[in-house]
Amino acid sequence: MIDSRYIFILASKPRGALYVDTAVDLPTCVLEHKHNLVDGLTSLYAIHLLVYYEHFDKAGPALERERELKRLPRTLKLHLVESFNPTWRDLYDDIALPGMLSA
């Protein structure tokens, strides 16, 4: 879908610095962060591990969810990640394979 979006959380390490954002093309966006092609917090603090993501068919709900996650206290963000990805494994390889995020 053209209007679909992903919200995602990157981490510097398990329970480390967190970064919340949205993307149309999640694999490309995460790869850019991993290679420090995006100036800002992710390159400054080596926030490169994809630890959480959600897919939305429409941009509006994705942007609402992004705002909601950004307003959450850190402890609740940690709980969200740990309920989705208890080992804080980098999920990038799961989504980088062709066709893995086909909706």
pTM: 0.91
**Model confidence at 70: pLDDT above 50:** yes
Q: Which CATH architecture group holds 5-96?
A: 3-Layer(aba) Sandwich (3.40)
- Residue 63 CA to residue 75 CA, distance in Å, equals 21
Sign of the C-alpha dihedral computed for residues 55, 58, 61 and 66 taken in this order: positive
- pLDDT-based confidence at residue 3 (cuts at 50, 70, 90): confident
**Residue extents of the structural domains in the chain:** 5-96
pLDDT tens, residue by residue, 15-60:
999 999 999 999 999 999 999 998 899 999 999 999 999 999 999 9
